[in-house]
Each structure stands twice: as C-alpha cells, then as structure tokens.
Amino acid sequence: MSPSPYSRLPHAKLEEIFENRIQALATTLSRGTVTNYRATARRFLSYVHANFPRVRRLSQLHRDPHLLGWFRCLCDQNPPLSNKTREMYLLCLRRLLQDFAYNGHSVQPG
C-alpha cells in the first residue's frame, strides 16, 4: 500500500490539505460541485481558525467542539442559511473528512 498523500505534508496547513483534496475531486466533478467544496472548506476553516487558532493539523480536529461547533454556527447565521444550503455544507464536509479518514487521517471523537 502506498503512503497517504497527506503524510507527505505533515506540517502542511489545513488550507493546503483541503485544497489538495478538492483538486483531486475536481478531476471528476462539475465546476459547480467543486465550487461548493471550496466554499465549504473556506467556511469551515474560517470558523476553525477564528475559534480554535491553535488547530493547524487534521489530527487536531475533533468531532466536539470543532465539527459540532461549526454545525451550530451554520444554524445561527444571520440572515439564516436555507436548509438546503446547510445540508450542502454538511455533505461536502462529510465527504472531505471521509476521504481524509480513508487515507488514515480521521477526525478524533469528542
């Protein structure tokens, strides 16, 4: 089994890791779908950096407080996001995190 593409960048910024994964997805997805993934990554990472500035690696992300906090933040937006928009963000982030987990970099439980 070949090494994970993320292991080559042990000190890579979260933005770089997310962007590398989105670039890989872009080879098979439509432009609009890739735009959704980028928007999701940008919003999620902005939330993480603003609220948890010490989180710099995938291994530091936890379900609680990072993911659950962001989900709550999406619900608290003003003006409110539509259910469809929130669902799109959740599905895109889930796909990215599943891809990371498949490559040996899963989010830590609570």
User: Does residue 3 contact residue 59 with C-beta atoms inside 8 Å?
Assistant: no
Question: pLDDT digit string (tens) for 41-92?
Answer: 999 999 999 999 999 989 899 999 999 999 999 999 999 999 999 999 999 9
Q: Is 100 helix (H, G, I), strand (E, B) or coil?
A: helix
CA pair distance 53, 47, nearest whole angstrom: 10
Give the percent of the chain with pLDDT over 90: 77
CA pair distance 40, 96, nearest whole angstrom: 10
The yes-or-no verdict on residue 39 having pLDDT over 60 is: yes
CA pair distance 78, 64, nearest whole angstrom: 23
